[in-house]
Structures are given as structure tokens and as C-alpha cells.
Chains A and B, each alone.
Chain A
Amino acid sequence: MTVTVPAVAAPQRYAPVADPSPSYAPTGARRAAWYTLVGATAAFVGIQHALFGLQRELEAARLGATLDGRWWETASLGRFLAFSLAALLLVGVGRRRVFVLPVLAAVLVPAIAGPGSGLFPPGPSPLGFGWAIRLDEFAMPHTGLLWTGVVVDSTLALAPAALLAWRSHVRPPRTAKPSTALDFSAMALCGLLLVLYAHVRAVGEYSPLSTAEVLAPLVPIFVLGLLAGARPPWWPWAVVALALLPAGETLVPLIQHPRLPEPWEIDVLWPPIAAGLLGSAWPFATRLLSSVQRKPVTLVVAVNMLNIADAVLTMTAINANEAVEANPVASTLGMPAKIVLVAVASIWLARRYPQALIWPMLGLTAVFSWHVAGLALRP
């Protein structure tokens, strides 16, 4: 059978944007932001030092021994610098309003999803772990203190970027900005992959954390990746570097004495990298999808291959008593009928509305990702 399709012109997307101002951020603004960053970081260190001092005193009085809090102090500084620099990075690429989102996600998502950040109970998660003070030996850290920490830490972390955004000239973002349905679909697909990754980690590794709790610390890095995006060639080095900053205690020995990382080190380092890569991959995914969208034959082949994969994997899962058929068409007519039906429908769509085939392909890709996560969870 010959499929005839109308020619589709390749849209020009993500063309370099001419910078309307010769200098985006004036020297004075950049200098002020630098001094604010130095001052805010020092103030953060001062506050955390005092709070960790109190924690140590309480532990010594209650337990007779002081726990080693150095790791938590370093991790707090890493977290603060990562999110402060992330906000600056976003202002630098022209995100003058949404630069606050990664920090807000870092401090507020655990309030909904679960702790996810070591010392904190379910509730808000300040950037500094020093806020996790137990007023009573057996009680959870004080909620009022945690909210104070959220306000103080967020203000300090966002101050340099806010100053830079305020004093900089307005100009279009230097990175890809989502505008079409395809852009948002690519973002949603990346988000689904992140959720499935967190689910596999939570369930497959018998983790004591729920999927939401595994996901909570990854969401801010994912949001940073989404907002920073990536321009071709796709290499989101800044996002990856910022994602790794809070894990400095694990990373530095690996750099000092290069060797293959131990499994526990991979467990610490890989999830934030994966979240950053997935978040910043959406412009790349959009380019891929828009390129495929112009090739209806490829789309027909992809849709049918994904459909057959779905059918085979569903049958395997049903035979293993791991799933039930939820698709009423497939359960009524049977798998072969479903495959034939999708094949006919995809060819009809390719002849009439070739570009619309991208949507079933996206849906089937999501279903296929779900199956792959299921396969990863099999014993």
C-alpha cells in the first residue's frame, strides 16, 4: 500500500534570538548580585553554624554523645549554593519571574510529598538542615522553626537572583520557551519518565520511602531543568553541575581519588543527574517529535510497533497475573483485532491528518514507558 502525504514545511524553531540590548545585565547589577551572593551565603553559614551548635548541645545533654553533624552542615551549604546559583542561572537565561520555582519546589514539595530530605519530618523542608531542632528529645523537629527556616533560607537564596532580575534589561529568554502543545507534551513525557523512575526506585529497591518521597528531592532539579532547558547541542552541563552540588561530600573523594564509584555512591549521585537530564531534555524531545511529525511513514511504523509492543507486554503481564486488561476494545475484540484496528486507523490518519499521528504515538510511548517500568520491577 502506498501512503501519499502532503508535504509539510519544516518549522523554524529555536532560532537564535537577537539580543536587543548589548549588555543584558549591566556591570553594576552583576557586581551587586555577586556581593549579595557572598553576603547571603555567609549569613546562611552563620545561622546554620549557630543552629547546628544548639543541636550538638541538645544531643550532648540528652544522649551523652554528640553525633557527627559535619556531613549535614556541608550538605546544607551545598543545597543552598545549588539553589542560589540555579536561580542566578535562570535569570541569566532570561527567566526573570519563574527563577523562584526551583527554590520553592525544594522547600514546599516535601510538605506535600513527604520528607525526602534526611532530617526533616513530613512538612516544609528548609535548605539548611540546622533547622531540624527537636525541642523535646522524642518529638519531631518543630514545625514553626521549619517554616521560619523556609522563609529565611528562601529569601537568602533568592536575593542575588532577584537583585539581578530587577536591575537587568528585559529581553527574550535565551533558551527554548514552551509555546506549542508539542512542547508541553514533551515536558509531560519527561515528567512521566521521572515519576516512573522514582516509582521503580521506591518499589523495586524495597526502599522505606514511598514514590512521592523519592520524587520530592528530584522535583526541584527537574523544574530547574525544565526552565533552563537546553539549546542545541544538547548538553545541560550547568543543570547537572548544580544537581550534583548538594552531593559534594560523596563527589569530592571521587574526584580527588578517581575510581569507579561504589553502588551506594551511584545511588547518591545518579538520581539528581537523571532528574536534571530529564528536565532539560524536553527541547531535545520536541525537536525529535517535530522532526518525526513531518515523516508520516515513520509515524505509522512507530505507532504500530509501539501498539504491538503494548499488546505483547500486556499479554505477558496478564499471563503472569500481574495485570488485567483495562482496554474495553481489546478485552471485547481480542488482541489481534486491536492490532489490526490500530493499523487501519493509523493508515487512515496518515492519509487524512498525517501530523495528528504524533498524538497516538505520544500516548503509546507513555504506555510503553509504563510497561518498561513494570518490567524493571519484575523479580
Chain B
Amino acid sequence: MWLRLARVAVFSVATAVGGLALGDAAGGALRASVQPELPTAFFSRPVSDFTVEGLLFPSLHPAAASRATCPGTDGWFRARATVSNGWMVQAADDGQPAPLWQDRDVLAVAPTAFGEGARITGALILVRAAPYVVHVRAASRDGVVDSMTPTDGWAALLVQPHKGDEPVVVEAFDGDGRQVSSVPVRLGERPSGTPRCLSEAL
């Protein structure tokens, strides 16, 4: 009786392991057969408590896509800053002309401010830079600085000024380390000028 039960138990475990292996192999084959669309990861870097990522997505949300008038030749740039507890702020090129803070044909920036209630505590800034710009930097008046090297002309800077909605200056530098552009940005304010597509602002 016990021997028979033990034999059934052993065969059951063996069958389960075999089935699991078979299922896993079939699942692996299925995974290999599908070709999902994935964003191209441009960069991922830590900034204080955040991780700032920049990604080029192949498509827009259907609601945005139906309104999009800007050309998204290589895709649509989206940046996100995530805290380890899951809190996230996201800024995206949604394919529509937007008011930009801009300096000639060197630098165009679109900040997305965040905060607590009505109080602004920081901003994630989408940056579109000319091809010869190798470094961009955002600095608030009280000394908070974030900088990075653009990828394909795209960058995302995270600034959290100590006093909240202080003016921030976004600067661009060329390969020789010379400052080639400087754009003052007031967080929470709408820049003047004609709305433009971020993807073709320069």
C-alpha cells in the first residue's frame, strides 16, 4: 500500500517536472516567435533619489497620434524620472507643436514642472540640442545642477531648486567646452513665441 503510494508520488513529481520543462520550452519558443515593439533606451542615469531615463518610442498613444501634426521621423522621445517607491514624473514629445524655451537653432527646451499641491518643487526638462552640442547643463540660481551628454540631440535634465520655482538656466557646450547657448527658463510659466514641434525645433 505505502509502496504503491510512494510510486504514484514519485511518478507524479516526475511527470510534473517533465511537464514544467516542456511548458517552459514551449513558452520560450513562443517568446522567441513574437516580435514586440520596444522603445530604444537612450540613457539611464541616477540623479539624487531619481533615475532619469530617456527613451525613443516607436508609436504614440492612439489619442495623441490622432492629433499629432509634427513629424516623428525616428520615433517619439519620452523621458521619465522614477523614485524607487514607484513615484514617477514623465515628459513626452506628443507630436504636437508646443511653446518652447529656445535659443536660436542651438537649444530648445520643454520643462515639465512637478511639486506638492500648487507649490513647484522641481522640473524634468526635455532638451533638444544641435548636433555639435556635446554637453547640456541645467542650473538653478541656488546652485542645484544637473548635466549630461545628449544622445542623438536628445537629453533630459532634472532640477529641484531649493526654493522651488526659481529660474533655471539651461546651457549647451560644444566639443571644446565652450558655452554655445544659454536659455533661461521660468518653471511653471508659459514661454512666449509661436508653438513649435520639439522634434524639428532646430
The contact string, 1 if C-beta is below 8 Å from chain A, for chain B 1-29, is: 00000001001100111111111111110
Q: Is the CB of A35 within 8 A of B12?
A: yes
Main secondary structure of the interface of B (DSSP, over half): helix
CB of B31 within 8 A of CB of A50, answer yes
Residues of A within 8 A of B16 (CB): 38-39, 41-42
Nearest A residue to B38 via CB reads A61
Cβ contact of A42, chosen from B20, B41, B62, B88, cutoff 8 A: B20
Query: Cβ of B34 and Cβ of A46 under 8 Å apart?
Result: no
User: Are the CB atoms of A48 and B59 closer together than 8 Å?
Assistant: no
Tell me the complex Cα distance, A188–B17, Å.
Answer: 45
Q: A43 and B36: CB pair below 8 A?
A: no
B53: chain A residues at CB < 8 Å are 64
| Distance to closest chain B CB from A233 (angstroms) | 33
Interface status of A356 (Cβ within 8 A of chain B): no
Task: Decide: A137 near B59, CB < 8 A? Known: A61-B39, A64-B80, A64-B82.
Answer: yes
Chain A residues with Cβ under 8 A from B31's Cβ?
50-51, 53-54
Contact of B27 among A49, A64, A142 (CB under 8 A): A49
Kindly supply a per-residue 1/0 record for chain A positions 152-196, scoring 1 wherever the CB is within 8 Å of any chain B CB and 0 otherwise: 100000000000000000000000000000000000000000000
Measured in the bound complex, the distance between the Cα atoms of B57 and A43 in whole Å is 35
Would you call A136 and B18 a contact (CB within 8 A)?
no
* A43 and B37 in contact, given A65-B88, A137-B57 (Cβ under 8 angstroms): no
- A162 to B86 alpha-carbon distance, docked (Å): 47
Specify which chain B residues have a CB less than 8 angstroms from the CB of A135 in the assembled complex.
34-37
Q: Find chain B residues with CB under 8 A from A142 CB.
A: 34
Q: How far is the CA of A43 from the CA of B29 in the complex (A)?
A: 13
**B30 close to A (CB within 8 Å):** yes
Answer yes or no: B58 CB below 8 A from chain A CBs: yes
Does any Cβ of A come within 8 Å of B61's Cβ? yes
Alpha-carbon separation in the docked complex, A31 to B86 (Å)? 49
Interface residues of B, CB < 8 Å — how many?
37
Q: Number of residue pairs across A and B with beta carbons under 8 Å?
A: 108
Q: What mask results when residues 30 to 62 of chain A are scored 1 for a CB within 8 Å of chain B, else 0?
A: 010011001111111111111101100010011
Interfacial residues of chain A within 78-119, with CB under 8 A of chain B in the complex: none
Bound form: Cα–Cα A42–B24 in Å: 9
CB-based contact A42/B27 at 8 Å: no
Q: Is the CB of B26 within 8 A of A43?
A: yes
Complex Cα spacing A152 to B26, Å:
10
> In the assembled complex, which residues on chain A have CB atoms less than 8 Å from the CB atom of B35?
135
Asked if A133 is at the interface (CB within 8 A of a chain B CB), the reply is yes
The 8 A CB mask of B35-70 against A (1 = contact, 0 = none) is 111110100000000000100011111100000000
A65–B8 Cα distance when bound, in Å, is 43
Tell me which of B15, B61, B86 has the highest count of chain A C-beta atoms within 10 A of its own C-beta.
B15
Is the beta-carbon distance between B24 and A62 smaller than 8 angstroms?
no
| A47 and B61 within 8 A (CB) | no
Q: Let me know if B18 and A39 touch, CB within 8 A.
A: yes
CB-based contact A44/B88 at 8 Å: no
Interface of A is mostly: helix
Chain B residues positioned under 8 Å from A49 (CB to CB): 23-24, 27
Chain A's closest residue to B51 (CB) is: A64
Give the shortest distance, in Å, between B68 (CB) and chain A (any CB).
13
Given contacts A47-B30, A48-B27, A51-B31, contact A134 B36 (CB under 8 A): yes
Bound-state CA distance A31–B61 (Å) is 52
Chain B hits for A47, CB < 8 A: 23-24, 26-27, 30
Q: Is A145 an interface residue (CB 8 A)?
A: yes
Q: How far is the CB of A26 from chain B (nearest CB, A)?
A: 16
Give Cα A44 to B19, complex, Å: 8
Given contacts A133-B36, A135-B36, A136-B37, contact A43 B23 (CB under 8 A): yes
Closest to B82 in A: A64
Contact of A138 with B by CB under 8 A: yes
Contact A35 B11 (CB under 8 A): yes
Q: A38-B12, A39-B19, A46-B19 are known contacts. Are A62 and B38 too (CB-CB below 8 A)?
A: yes
Given contacts A42-B19, A43-B26, contact A138 B61 (CB under 8 A): yes
Complex formed: what's the CA distance from A62 to B60 in Å? 12
Q: Identify 15 residue pairs between A and B in the complex whose beta-carbon atoms are under 8 Å apart, listed by A's number.
A: A35-B12, A43-B20, A44-B23, A45-B20, A45-B23, A46-B21, A46-B24, A49-B23, A49-B24, A50-B28, A58-B38, A62-B39, A137-B39, A145-B30, A145-B34
Q: Give the interface of A toward B (CB within 8 A).
A: 31, 34-35, 38-51, 53-54, 58, 61-62, 64-65, 133-138, 142, 145, 148, 152
With contacts A42-B18, A50-B26, A137-B39 known, what are 8 further pairs, Cβ within 8 A?
A40-B19, A42-B20, A47-B24, A50-B30, A65-B86, A136-B36, A138-B60, A138-B61
